[in-house]
Structure 1
Amino acid sequence: MSQSQTRQKVCFILNPKSGTKSGVDVPALIEQGLDMERWEPCLLLTEYAGHATILARQAAEEGTRLVVAVGGDGTVNEVARGLLNTSTALGILPKGSGNGLARHLKIPLKLPQALELINKATFHHIDSCAINGHPFFCTSGIGFDGLVSSAFAKSVKRGLTSYVQLVIKEFRAYFAQEATVRVNDRELSSEFFVIAFANAAQYGNDAFIAPMADIQDGLLDVCLIRHVGLIQALQLGYGLMTKTIATSSLAEFHTCATVQVQSKEPQHFHADGEYIGQATEFEVKLFPKSLEVVAALA
């Protein structure tokens, strides 16, 4: 069999605005580091929000075996949603500030090593989720989570430091909101600071909202956090960064395939850190093994 017959198509979708400070020449890296005996590459640049989804879907329809998102969590989410329930897999060259899905899938954060993982190409199927019809692959959240994502979307600064500064600023003026959570035939009514939905274990930056979450188990991990004062907020922050939030008395966890939330007042919400908007009613669903990925999972 000739080389041209054995090579499979791989499409790299690059957000030119993501990770611009990394200093890595991605086209040159692909040309020098990609296994050309296995892969036949193409490189596409996104031009506007949502463009990556269109490009990924087109690539899947053309029979491309692998589509690689080159960028941050937003780019990864856009590419992944275009590949849902197709026979085309998602790869990631992480260039964002959080890199939540890449971290969970044990994809190296250094681009040459991430490209080497693509050369080896071990395929796995993972679950995906949607909140009010908006797909997400790592986490979604209502309440303070959503408010911070709204503020971050308006900020010109990126990175962990800017994010922490925003969290501190917004925390001072935020109050827990009254809502009812319906999970596993139970109704839980309270004032909630955060209602988080985790398909993967972390938000990004190794901040673990649900350390026990398994992206292949067909279950959504729901984290409920009620009233939070300054001391409790610091404890929660420590719990996020040390994976100890799962044993904290400040957080309550449930696992399910679907969950509904009804809020008295409109609440901000996000999907994979991208701000969606406000609503008073929410439905979150999990779709088992609906996305194929290249990852370093066991």
Structure 2
Amino acid sequence: MRALLVVNPAATTTSARVRDVIGTALASDLKLEVATTEYRGHARDLARRAAEGGETELVVSLGGDGTVNEIVNGLLHHGPDPDRLPKLAVVPGGSTNVFARALGLPNDAVEATGALLDALRAGTSKTVGLGLVSGTPGTEDEGVPARWFTFCAGMGFDAGVIGRVEQQRELGKRSTPALYFRQVARQFVADPHRRHGTITVRRPDEEPVSELITAIVCNTAPWTYLGSRPVYASPNASFDTGLDLLGVTRMSTLSGARYATQLLRSTPERGPHGKYALTLHDLTDFTLQSQAPLPFQVDGDHLGLRTSATFTGVRHALRVIV
């Protein structure tokens, strides 16, 4: 099988030596080309060229969730082809690796490479659904390019936290649970909309739901990890269904502490719940609209401020080697 290994040299949990070992191991079973990313969006460009060239049968990501997201967007630049779904394999090399771990892969890059080689030899794979977010027609965000996501997107409070974490990482801070906790506290203090939400969820043939402070859209569970602890914002979310949504309509000190505790104690059976929590399951099409510009994120990548976003849950979008 002809394959392209896309390597992010800035991946936080692998070294140059480990990446060389992984490349050598994969080359023993694949006709492997190796490409190292050099700029933001490079993994997307590499994957797009591989998909359009027609000769590459598999793209392997060696990096974090951001690298995976770029590759997916490159592979699906022209949309999924039901007769020939793009093939992806993932070797986790980032700090969190939500997508890889949701697939059941080990979080260690070398162990995950061994699991990938076993899957290649056995010929096993899994078809997964993805989320697609685009600009909403008739709004100032109409022209925003569509973007695929593998595990989550969000508007409001959670995206604000991610933006703060990114700022700290650009200053050289390591991505740790402690860093996230500090930024959650700072976002809570600084968020001007946490008492009066500005987000409305609009679904076909359903009444709108308004005054959300944050909206977390999940394509799978867990939503994220704090170290080794999985966090379930939407426990029923799955690669086999549409999209799930968790919204919060009030975040006082008391309710904010309650929902934070529920997230930390969440399980595959139960996530955040209560009077001010909105949970929606298996959505195919919906729109988030805000009265004020709010932080927006896709797969943990902060994309600035948005007032609207239209979501589509696409089943059978990608084939993953597992």
SS at match of 2:207: strand
Q: Whole-Å Cα distance in 2 between the matches of residues 225 and 24 of structure 1?
A: 45
Aligned to 1:124: 126
**Structure 1: unaligned runs, 5 residues or longer:** 1-7
Aligned to 1:248: 273
Q: Whole-Å Cα distance in 2 between the matches of residues 35 and 23 of structure 1?
A: 16
Aligned to 2:311: 284
Q: Whole-Å Cα distance in 2 between the matches of residues 68 and 75 of structure 1?
A: 10
Contact 1:35 1:119 in 2 (8 A): no
Aligned to 1:152: 165
2:108 to 107, 110, 118: 110
Among all aligned residue pairs of Structure 1 and Structure 2, give the percentage whose two residues are the same amino acid.
28
Measured after TM superposition, the shift of residue 179 of structure 1 is 2.5
| Higher share in strand | 1
SS at match of 2:165: helix
Aligned to 1:13: 6
Q: 1:22 to 1:203 in 2, by over 3 A?
A: farther
Matches for 1:155-194 after TM superposition, within 5 Å: 155-156=168-169, 157=173, 158-174=175-191, 175-176=193-194, 177-194=197-214
Measured after TM superposition, the shift of residue 210 of structure 1 is 1.0
- For the aligned residues, what is the CA RMSD? 2.0
Instruction: Please give the per-residue CA displacement for 1:143-181, whole angstroms capped at 9, x wherever unaligned.
Output: 002212222222222232212211111111213332321
Measured after TM superposition, the shift of residue 239 of structure 1 is 2.3
Q: Whole-Å Cα distance in 1 between the matches of residues 188 and 164 of structure 2?
A: 12
Runs of 4+ residues deviating >4 angstroms: 20-24
Aligned to 2:70: 78
Contact 1:98 1:203 in 2 (8 A): no
Contact 1:191 1:226 in 2 (8 A): yes
Deviates more, 1:140-149 or 1:13-22: 13-22
Aligned to 2:95: 97
Q: Whole-Å Cα distance in 2 between the matches of residues 137 and 9 of structure 1?
A: 24
Measured after TM superposition, the shift of residue 23 of structure 1 is 7.4
Aligned to 1:49: 40
SS at match of 2:100: helix
Aligned to 1:4: none
Contact 2:152 2:300 in 1 (8 A): yes
1:224 to 208, 223, 247: 247
Aligned to 2:141: none
Does residue 207 in structure 1 map to residue 207 in structure 2?
no
Letter in 2 for 1:248: H
Instruction: Please give the per-residue CA displacement for 1:204-260, whole angstroms capped at 9, x wherever unaligned.
Output: 21222111111112x111111111123322332232233255362142211210111
SS at match of 1:103: helix
Contact 2:292 2:307 in 1 (8 A): yes
Instruction: Please give the per-residue CA displacement for 1:45-91, whole angstroms capped at 9, x wherever unaligned.
Output: 00001000111122222422221111111111001111222643111
SS at match of 2:217: strand
How high is the TM-score relative to the length of structure 2? 0.82
SS at match of 1:25: helix
Q: 1:192 to 1:106 in 2, by over 3 A?
A: same
Measured after TM superposition, the shift of residue 137 of structure 1 is 1.0
Letter in 1 for 2:234: A
Measured after TM superposition, the shift of residue 93 of structure 1 is 0.9
How high is the TM-score relative to the length of structure 1? 0.88
Aligned length: 285
Q: Whole-Å Cα distance in 2 between the matches of residues 14 and 152 of structure 1?
A: 23
Letter in 2 for 1:225: V
Q: Whole-Å Cα distance in 2 between the matches of residues 104 and 261 of structure 1?
A: 25
Contact 2:14 2:109 in 1 (8 A): no
Measured after TM superposition, the shift of residue 119 of structure 1 is 1.0
Aligned to 2:139: none
Deviates more, 1:240-249 or 1:136-145: 240-249
